Structure 1
Amino acid sequence: MQLLLSALEDGYVPGPGLSVAETVFTFVVIPLGLFVLIALLSWLASAPRKEKPQSSVSSIN
């Protein structure tokens, strides 16, 4: 027991623990959501563009 108490710093007051739902949301749902958001943004940024019809102004005959 003394070993556990010596690990705490002076003035440290632990708060209440997280529930299972809060833990899963914090460490699983939020990181997965950020991963999907970043993957979607990078996919949209690198997606192939639709070819535009060639303009007569930009072509030389």
Structure 2
Amino acid sequence: MGSALGFLLFLGRRWHCMQGLKLYFNRCDIGIDQVIEQTGLLRIHLLAALGKLQTLELRYLVGEFLD
């Protein structure tokens, strides 16, 4: 009876450890997904800034022609 109880305790600890590892790896996956998402957002912001810069340059060029 004692060894059966010990075996069940061992399995319980093992299962708890495996759940902890699973949670850890899920956190890593979420972290990687967030980095990829932030990288995409950064690219969008850079493209938007480039578009604004080109608009300002064109506005300056038109102003030079009109003056």
TM-score tier, shorter chain, comes to 0.3 to 0.5
* Structure of larger gyration radius: 2
| TM-score, normalised with respect to structure 2 | 0.44
| TM-score, normalised with respect to structure 1 | 0.47
| Structure with the higher fraction of residues in helix conformation | 2
